[in-house]
């Protein structure tokens, strides 16, 4: 829960916002992006970018920061004070922010709290003495140094090997690239500064995306390169019927429409009515008139067979997954997902795949994708690929394809 200070008129400083987001996320269980949206109202431009950077970086580095805090403080800490220490230490150790600003501004955040002297003392001691991290020779040490849950480090260590796991762990703490998809359906020339490859645009610097005229016009939309690759593997053709299962929030749905020149019928199935409505709004903004949204359960396609309307030339299944390939963009995911979630989701994905294959035309194409890096969630297919943050600079995805 946010502090009263974070809601007060004088607390719109980016560090106050970041502190409130860290507190709400790590102590209150909030989603980092939703907490930022709520707390950062009134911030714009550089201030909002700074608040996001500090909050997300602090949440990402939670294990490292807590290990360091616990090595200096033996007693239990009030959550407000722990969040301040986490934020201050993150600035001190992982950013180029001047030490005096990192310390002084952090102490000021909790000046009215009796624990502010402790915050000042710990930050100054770390400034003087530095930190000796435990390294990453073992999974246990790597979990602290690279700030990931131990179960996840062990899973990757066994699956990918020690060296690739180290590279992946390090990459997950780096900022995600700012990737957009340029939408050809609106016919607007996009000239934003960045690297362009087809419909993919990697921005050179930050922009206020959701307030940008090109976003409102539907000419651009945020979507990682890995996510855009999925629809390219589907490769929809004009005149075909395409089924997109578990379609919200609609990025791949509208990409399928664009790749088909808005002349393929794209049926988007989504279980939650509110999320289905969001797909419709997305399709309207991006002028994807070939999209039709159906509310239904991908584990029981027979229940919505009449609304779906018969077999499909191509089916994309992008089921619920652990999201472990998106740790750069979603800093709290690593602390939310459990080992049990991976097993549970793998079983659900298998069930959905059986349903999906059952509505394909003879000779049709089935594509399976998950934005995670987890062997139990990879479905064996005729062809497959895996993108990796440390190797490809984009989200970690598994994509598989079967051609009948």
CA distances from 99 to 17, 92, 116 (A): 20, 6, 17
Q: Which of 246, 321, 371, 381 is catalytic?
A: 371
CA distances from 215 to 43, 147, 152, 364 (A): 19, 35, 36, 34
Hey, what are 308's tokens? 């779906």
Q: How far apart are CA 103 and CA 100, in angstroms?
A: 5
Q: Map tokens 């970086």 to a residue.
A: 57
Rounded to 5 degrees, φ, ψ at 156 are -65, -40
**Catalytic site includes residue 321:** no
Hey, what are 159's tokens? 């699956």
Query: 210: closest CA among 225, 222, 228, 199?
Result: 222
Hey, what are 176's tokens? 């995600």
Cβ burial of 53 (10 Å; 0-12, 13-18, 19+) is: middle
CA distances from 404 to 20, 169, 236 (A): 52, 37, 15
Number of residues written out for the chain = 404
- List, by residue number, the catalytic residues: 371
């Amino acid at each position: 829960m946010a502090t009263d200070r974070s809601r007060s008129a004088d607390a719109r400083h980016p560090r106050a916002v970041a502190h409130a987001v860290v507190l709400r996320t790590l102590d209150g269980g909030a989603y980092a992006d939703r907490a930022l949206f709520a707390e950062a109202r009134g911030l714009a431009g550089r201030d909002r970018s700074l608040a996001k950077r500090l909050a997300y970086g602090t949440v990402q580095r939670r294990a490292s920061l807590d290990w360091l805090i616990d090595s200096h403080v033996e007693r239990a800490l009030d959550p407000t004070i722990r969040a301040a220490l986490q934020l201050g230490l993150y600035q001190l150790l992982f950013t180029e922010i001047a030490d005096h600003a990192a310390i002084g501004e952090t102490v000021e955040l909790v000046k009215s709290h009796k624990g502010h002297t402790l915050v000042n003392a710990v930050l100054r001691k770390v400034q003087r003495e530095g930190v000796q991290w435990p390294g990453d020779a073992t999974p246990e040490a790597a979990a602290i140094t690279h700030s990931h849950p131990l179960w996840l480090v062990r899973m990757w260590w066994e699956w990918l090997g020690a060296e690739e796991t180290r590279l992946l762990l390090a990459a997950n703490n780096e900022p995600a690239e700012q990737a957009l998809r340029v939408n050809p359906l609106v016919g607007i020339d996009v000239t934003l500064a960045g690297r362009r490859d087809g419909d993919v645009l990697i921005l050179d610097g930050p922009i206020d995306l959701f307030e940008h005229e090109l976003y409102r016009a539907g000419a651009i939309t945020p979507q990682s390169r890995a996510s855009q690759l999925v629809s390219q593997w589907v490769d929809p053709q004009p005149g075909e019927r395409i089924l997109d299962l578990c379609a919200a929030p609609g990025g791949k749905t509208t990409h399928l429409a664009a790749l088909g020149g808005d002349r393929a019928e794209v049926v988007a199935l989504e279980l939650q009515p509110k999320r289905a409505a969001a797909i419709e709004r997305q399709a309207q903004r991006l002028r994807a008139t070939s999209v039709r949204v159906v509310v239904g359960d991908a584990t029981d396609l027979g229940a919505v067979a009449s609304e779906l309307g018969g077999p499909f030339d191509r089916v994309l299944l992008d089921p619920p997954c652990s999201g472990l390939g998106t740790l750069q963009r979603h800093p709290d995911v690593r602390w939310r997902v459990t080992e049990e979630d991976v097993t549970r989701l793998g079983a659900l994905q298998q069930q959905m795949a059986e349903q999906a294959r059952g509505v394909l035309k003879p000779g049709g194409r089935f594509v399976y994708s998950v934005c995670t890096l987890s062997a139990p969630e990879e479905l064996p297919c005729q062809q497959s690929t895996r993108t990796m943050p440390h190797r490809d600079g984009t989200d970690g995805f598994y994509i598989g394809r079967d051609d009948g």
